[in-house]
Amino acid sequence: MENNNIEKKYRIWIIILSIAIPLVVALLFRVKLKNFGIDVKPLSFLPPIYATINGITAALLVWAVMAVKKGNRLLHERLMKLAIACSVAFLGMYVAYHMTAEATSYGGTGLMKVIYLFILITHIILSIAIIPLVLITYVKALAERFDKHKKIAKITFPLWLYVAVTGVIVYLMISQYYVS
């Protein structure tokens, strides 16, 4: 009974965060601090940092799955919490950068542009979808509903890994077009 209470307790937060995070990010993406008279030099140093954090997140996810498959639940839990923290850090830096810099357009053409756009669009869509999946997966573990946790983790893991890896790929593909 206690486990159901944990899930019920967090259900509203999962819904709120799953809706609020993408909306707030979309709104803040349009906000440029210079438009408010705030003299902010673009945080041009952030993209390679948050791309690296995406790479670290991908490595943490793989390591965490290996840990749990070997029966090391404590290491798995710690690595997953670190992966969540990395994703939160990424999001903060990503929003901060885009509030201080103009959008960068991909300069490639032809097939490379099609590949870039496919990766970017799927990355964006899945980055929104992954929010409730990560939260639900985490709450199932918190509630010690490991059968349900494992079942949803089989969906969450590959999608989250895809988002993390494609974040790095998008950065590598567009980095040459950043304005210094």
Kindly report the CATH class assigned to 2-177.
mainly alpha
Report how far residue 62's alpha carbon sits from residue 57's, in angstroms, rounded to the nearest whole number.
9
Report how far residue 90's alpha carbon sits from residue 79's, in angstroms, rounded to the nearest whole number.
16
Q: Which residue has the higher pLDDT, 20 or 103?
A: 20
Q: Tell me: the pLDDT tens digits for 2-49?
A: 777 888 889 999 999 999 999 999 888 787 777 777 766 777 889 999
Report CA 149 to chain centroid distance, whole Å.
19
The pLDDT, as a whole number, for residue 41 is 74
Helix ranges, 31-145 (H):
46-69, 73-100, 110-142
Segments making up each domain of the chain, as ranges: 2-177
Q: Tell me: the pLDDT tens digits for 52-66?
A: 999 999 999 999 999
Residue linked to tokens 């509903």: 145
Element (H, E) at 152: helix 146-174
The pLDDT, as a whole number, for residue 39 is 65
Q: Could you tell me which of 122, 118, 127 has the C-alpha nearest to residue 95? A: 127
Tokens matching residue 59: 């490595």
The pLDDT, as a whole number, for residue 89 is 97
Residue linked to tokens 């099609």: 114
Average of per-residue pLDDT across 67-74: 97
pTM of the model as a whole: 0.89
The pLDDT, as a whole number, for residue 176 is 84
